[in-house]
Structures are given as C-alpha cells and as structure tokens.
Structure 1
Amino acid sequence: MTRDGGLRLHLQRVLRAPRPVVFRLVTEPQELAKWWGPEGFTIPSVDSDVRPGGAYRIAMQPPEGASFHLVGEFLEVVPPERLSYTFRWEDPDPEDRETVVTLSLRDIGDTSVELVLDQGDFATERRRVLHDEGWTQGLDKLAALISSI
C-alpha cells in the first residue's frame, strides 16, 4: 500500500481474486455491506444504482453512537476495470467537502488484481488521514472476505 502526500489519498492493494469478482464485491450492495467501513462498523443498508448518473446511499453504524449516511453519484462505471463516484457525508463535519473516489482494477496474472484507490481533494489533512484509516481497514476486510470465498 502506498500513500501520496498533499490533500489526496492514494492506496494500492493486491487482491487474490479475478478482476470481475473484485468489481462485483465493490459494486453489489449485498457484497459491499460485508466489508465496507472501518473495523467494528456495520452497514445496515446500501442503496445503489451503479451507472453513470446513478446515486448511492450507505448507512454506516459505528460500534457506539448513532448511524450516519454516506451519499454520492456514480461518475464513471467501466466493468470490470474502473469505478468513479462522488463521496460526501449527509451530515458533514465542518471540515468535510465532497470528494471524488476512483477505483481502478488491473489484472496481475490469472488470479490476482491490483486495486488502486484515489480520493480527493480533502479540505484538511485531518480528514484525509481519517479516510486513509477507514479505507485501509475496509480494504483489509475486503481482502479477508476474498480469502474466505
């Protein structure tokens, strides 16, 4: 995994699954709910219309406290290689602003894929770090899910 400086986030992860499987895991609501979010969080619901211009809404439940929602719009959907969407909290922190997430998937051999995640631009370094931690833990959960199937 690598991280860029500045107010952008750049993560890379090698996953041991074919690209179509990984694309399905990052786009289908029932699969997304299995791994999304930091450790300890659950995902009570995912509503998603995966097409350019389609919207999504993800309910996130922390271990303690009230649930909150993440919403956005799909900008680019190119199965099984690329997904780009806006990302914002329904009730944002004053330091938040809408960002754009791009997931790129590249085959590595017959059974592995490199997932590259780019997100930005963040309003503050504190919010970039928060997303770095959340994505890192979520991608760890995604890798564990892949190992179990």
Structure 2
Amino acid sequence: MQWMRPYETTCVHAEADVRVGGRFRVIMRAPDGEDHDVSGQYLEVVPDTRLVFTWAWRSTPERESLVTVMLRAEGNATELTLRHERFFDETTRDAHEGGWSSALDHLVEQFRRP
C-alpha cells in the first residue's frame, strides 16, 4: 500500500495471494475521489526471481494485459525489470508507463527510509 500507486493517488486497499492461480487487487484513489480498481491473477511465481501476472481494470475487464517482473541480484542491491505488455492501445500503454514509473519511485523511497 505504501508504493503500489502513481504519485497523485493513494492506495486505499491492497490484497495479494502470491501463488500460481492466486489473485491480487489494488484500489487507488485519485485526488478527485475517484477510485481506480485493478486486479489480476498470478501465472508464474519464482521466488526472488520472477512474477508474471495478468492486469485488468475493473472498469475495462476485457482489456486484460500482462505484467512480468524480473529480479536479479546486483551485489548488495537488486535489479528490477518490469515489462507490461498486451495493451489495448498505445494511449493505454503510455498512461501505464507513467504510473509504473512513479510506483517504482515509491518503492525505491521505501528502501531509503531510515
């Protein structure tokens, strides 16, 4: 809940059953009060290495896309590579690029806090 959101939103609900076939759901609230509800299913779970899951907004469930997160040890750090694909159109793809970038910035901030 601390990082899985674009900068301008707050995460008001997050749940995850991280196993193949398990599901996740995240609800983010925009400054205007509108909720953005996304969920999906885990297709691949390799601890400390790889997560693959579907991604669909409650408002457009027919537009399911695919997210792959890869992790690789880099000395005392971890390299994270995120690939989000199978978008409905380029506009949707471009909007997600900004959302993921700011969410990952939040993740980095979590590790920098004392």
Question: One-letter code of the match for 1:98?
Answer: E
In structure 2, give the amino acid aligned to 1:130: A
Q: 1:130 aligns with which of 95, 102, 106?
A: 95
For 1:65 and 1:129, the matched residues in 2 are separated by 23
What TM-score do you get using the length of structure 2 for normalisation?
Answer: 0.93
1:115 aligns to what?
80
1:68 aligns with one of 29, 36, 51: 36
Alignment length (residue pairs): 114
Report 1 or 2 for greater relative contact order, CA contacts < 8 Å, sequence distance ≥ 6.
Answer: 1
| Distance in structure 2 (CA, Å) of the matches to 1:130 and 1:66 | 17
Residues 1:99 and 2:65 are matched in the alignment? yes
State the TM-score, normalized to the length of structure 1.
Answer: 0.72
For structure 2, the 5+ residue unaligned runs are none
Aligned-pair identity in percent equals 36
> Which contiguous aligned blocks of 4+ residues in structure 1 show a shift greater than 6 angstroms?
none
**Structure 1 unaligned runs (5+)?**
1-32
* Structure with the higher fraction of residues in helix conformation: 1
Task: Tell me what 1:56 maps to.
Answer: 24
Cα separation, 2, equivalents of 1:65 and 1:133: 20
- Shift in Å at residue 79 of structure 1? 0.8
* Alpha-carbon RMSD: 1.4
1-structure distance, mates of 2:11, 2:93: 22
Residue 108 of structure 1 deviates from its aligned partner by 0.7
SS at match of 1:35: coil
1:120 aligned partner, one-letter code: E
